[in-house]
Amino acid sequence: MAIFPPEQRIWWKQPLHGVEIAWIGICLVWALVMFFTMIVWHVIGEQNLSNEAYRILPDVYQERTEAMVAQYQVREEGNTGIPVVHPPAGTDIYMMARLWEWWPILELEKDKTYRLHLSSIDWQHGFSLQPTNINIQVHPGYEMVVTLKPNKSGEFGVVCNEYCGIGHHTMAGRIYVVE
């Protein structure tokens, strides 16, 4: 019993009981099953994003995003004046987080592959693509690159899920996926 101190102070040299050995074995086998399940699920589950991260100056990232918008802009969204860009499949696309917006709006083609670059030019933000389960932390000075292949058409919301100040609740963006 654990209420009383062990008879011998060097308790770790005592032999293990058979039940203890069985539980240690069960725990070890279960840990190995869970470990290899994670590896298999990553390969065949198609749910984990393969992403990369690079250091970048916020000004350089902003210039790259603005250059992409200048090259591929197709229209402006409503009265907000936020540009909508429709880049060709297989290209690098950029989305920038800043107080309190995701800029620009992306228009992507279904079943085509894109490399989405994400970064912030001011504070830490969270990129959450709704209704999918894609969540990425976006930091200034770092560029996250995610390979995307949209498999459903429609309108997807981008929300900031990391509190970024008084206008956090208004920080929403969009990605359109067209046939």
Question: What DSSP string runs through 123-156?
Answer: S-EEEEEETTTEEEEE-BTEEEEEEE---S-EEE
Beta bridge partners of 143: 54
Residue 33: CB atoms within 10 A of its CB come to 10
* Shared-domain flag, residues 130 and 74: yes
Q: What is the pLDDT of residue 47?
A: 63
DSSP structure string for 3-46: SSPPSSS-GGGSPPPHHHHHHHHHHHHHHHHHHHHHHHHHHHS-
Is residue 118 within 8 Å of 151, Cβ to Cβ?
A: no
* Shared-domain flag, residues 127 and 109: yes
* Shared-domain flag, residues 85 and 102: yes
9 part of a folded domain = no
Q: Which residues of the chain have pLDDT under 70?
A: 1-2, 6, 46-48
Is residue 95 within 8 Å of 116, Cβ to Cβ?
A: yes
Q: What is the pLDDT of residue 64?
A: 96
* Shared-domain flag, residues 116 and 173: yes
> From the CA atom positions of the chain, what is the Rg in Å?
24
* Shared-domain flag, residues 20 and 73: no
Q: What is the pLDDT of residue 98?
A: 92
149 part of a folded domain = yes
Give the length of the chain. Answer: 179
* Shared-domain flag, residues 61 and 88: yes
38 part of a folded domain = yes
* Shared-domain flag, residues 22 and 82: no
**Residue-range definition of the domain harbouring residue 146:** 51-178
Is residue 154 within 8 Å of 179, Cβ to Cβ?
A: no
Residue 66: CB atoms within 10 A of its CB come to 15
Considering its fold, how many domains does the chain have in total?
2
For residue 112, the domain's CATH number is 2.60.40.420
Separation of alpha carbons 124 and 111, rounded Å: 31
Is residue 164 within 8 Å of 99, Cβ to Cβ?
A: yes
